[in-house]
Structure 1
Amino acid sequence: MWMYSGLLAALFLGLHNLCKKHAVRGNEVFPVLLGTITTGFLLLLPLYFASLYAPEYMDNLGLTITRIPWSNHGFIVIKSMLMAGSWVLAYQALKHLPITIVTPIRSAGPFFTFIGAIFIYRESPTGWQWVGFFLIIFSVFLYSRIGKKEGINFKNNKWIFAIIAATFLGASSGLYDKFLIQNLQLNPQTLQFWFSWYTVLILLVILSINWFPYADKRKAFIWRWSIPAVGILLVFADYFYFKALQDPDALIMLLSAIKRSQILIAVVLGGIIFKEQNKRRKLIPLAGIMIGVALILYSNG
């Protein structure tokens, strides 16, 4: 059952990435990011108040935001810091790079998660799962060759390094999620609510330094419908991802790989909508990534 939740998370993530590209294109990145996270927080806020004043009703719905000790808040702040760093870097890279280049590099995230799952959680991969992961990494390398045809030099472009760093931080957060959900036994909506709150605070600090003081940057910001859409889609994606992690049988290495099926939406539809180059050539490494994902999902030994 956790695999189906993972697929639903991938669906919402794929749509989320398309809206995110629309939101940041030619726009100020930091206020876009703040707008998306604030939207998610506001979406969850009614659940918080309902949990305070109608706890039995929320228990019946399975959407209670529970009270947690202050020590758990500290652990959630760490997750907020990891993801705030990842998002700031990823949004900046997405603003300057084609979505058909950014998304496949982000697809390397499962490799970092895979290694962490082995050494931290002692998850045991099969031989074919190893093949699948290295196939994903090789396919990302093929994307780098295609990227050069679009004037993107992977060695000298700082946004490439930014998206790689964002991918590493995101993978670290993914490994940390399993600890938060299974060891601290946080339910999805409780983690989402407090994570959103602390991330909003972190972003407000960043914007108070890099955006609010500058009138030219404030004027350059364009409000778009896709900004709240990104926040809403992310809430649904995270909810199903955390629901999957609640299953004690869920393997974070496989769940991370399942989420990579979002690439199909981002690369195919994104290439059509945003009219990016070399769409047909990108289908070859895309196929490699999807085959790698399939090997991970369906290998039993």
Structure 2
Amino acid sequence: MWMYLGLLAALFLGLHNLCKKHAVQGNEVFPVLFGTILAGFLLLLPWFVLSKMNPSLAKYIGLYITDIPLSKHGFIFIKSAIMAASWILAYQALKHLPITIVTPIRSAGPFFTFIGAILIYKEAPTMPQWLGFFLIIFSVFLYSKIGKKEGIHFKSNKWIFAIIGATFLGSSAGLYDKFLIQNLSLEPQTLQFWFCLYTTLILLAVLSITFFPNAEKRKAFKFRWTIPAVGILLQMADYFSFKALQDPDALIMLLSAIKRSQILIAVVIGGLIFKEQNKRKKLVPLLGIMVGVALILYSN
């Protein structure tokens, strides 16, 4: 069951990435990011209010936000700080790079998760899983070669390093999610609500330094419908991902890989919508990534 929940998460992540590209194109990055997280927080706020006013109803519909001790708030705040840093790097990179380059690099995230799952959670990969992950990494290398034809040189482009850093931090947060859900026994909606609140506060502090004092940046910001859509789609993806992690049999390395199937939406549909270059050539490494994911999914 947890694998199907992972596929649902992948669906919403793919749509989330398309909306995110539209939201940041020619726009100020930090207010866009803040708007997406704020939208997610506002989506969850009614469930928090309902949990306080009518807890029995909230429990009945499965969206009760539980009271947690201060120590657990600290663990959630750490996740918020990690993801805020990851998103700041990722949004800046997405603004300056084609989605068909950004998304495949992000698809290397399962490799970092794979290593962490072995070292931290002692998850045991099979030979097909090893082959699948290295096929994903090799396919990302092929994307780098295609990227050079678009004037994107991976060794000298700072936005490439930004998206790699964002990918590493995002993978670390994914490993941390398993600890929060399984070791601390946090309910998905409880984790999501407090995570969104703390991330909103962190980004508000960043905006108070980088955006609000700058009149030119304020004028350059354009509100688009995709900004709240990004936040809503992300929360839906996170919900299904966290529900999958509640299964004690769920392997974070496989769940991370399953979620990479989102690239089918981002590369194929996104490439058509944003009219990016070399779409046909990018289908070759895309196929490699999909085969790598398939090897992981069906290795059992």
Aligned counterpart, 1:282: 282
Deviations 1:200-227 (A, max 9, x none): 0000111111111100000000000000
C-alpha distance in 2, partners of 1:299/1:183? 27
1:256 and 2:269 equivalent?
no
1:76 and 2:76 equivalent?
yes
% identical aligned pairs: 79
- The alpha carbon displacement at 1:172 in A equals 0.1
- The alpha carbon displacement at 1:169 in A equals 0.1
Counterpart of 1:85, as a letter, is A
C-alpha distance in 1, partners of 2:154/2:60? 52
Aligned counterpart, 1:291: 291
Aligned counterpart, 2:168: 168
Aligned counterpart, 1:214: 214
Equivalent runs, 1:109-188 vs 2, <5 Å: 109-188=109-188
SS in structure 2 at match of 1:151: coil
Equivalent runs, 1:223-238 vs 2, <5 Å: 223-238=223-238
1:97 and 2:73 equivalent?
no
Aligned counterpart, 1:67: 67
- With normalisation by structure 1, the TM-score equals 0.99
Aligned counterpart, 1:194: 194
Counterpart of 1:195, as a letter, is F
SS in structure 1 at match of 2:206: helix
Aligned counterpart, 1:108: 108
Aligned counterpart, 2:37: 37
- The alpha carbon displacement at 1:55 in A equals 0.5
- The alpha carbon displacement at 1:151 in A equals 0.4
- With normalisation by structure 2, the TM-score equals 1.00
Structure 1 spans left out of the alignment, 5+ residues? none
Count of residues in correspondence between the two structures: 300
- The alpha carbon displacement at 1:121 in A equals 0.2
Deviations 1:212-255 (A, max 9, x none): 11000000000000000001100100000000000000000000
- The alpha carbon displacement at 1:279 in A equals 0.1
Aligned counterpart, 1:47: 47
Counterpart of 1:155, as a letter, is K
RMSD: 0.3
C-alpha distance in 1, partners of 2:235/2:134? 31
C-alpha distance in 2, partners of 1:259/1:128? 18
Deviations 1:33-66 (A, max 9, x none): 0000000000000000000010011111111000
- The alpha carbon displacement at 1:82 in A equals 0.4
C-alpha distance in 1, partners of 2:6/2:224? 29
- The alpha carbon displacement at 1:71 in A equals 0.2
- The alpha carbon displacement at 1:141 in A equals 0.1
1:87 and 2:87 equivalent?
yes
SS in structure 2 at match of 1:175: helix
Deviations 1:158-191 (A, max 9, x none): 0000000000000000000000000000000000
Counterpart of 1:10, as a letter, is A
Structure 2 spans left out of the alignment, 5+ residues? none
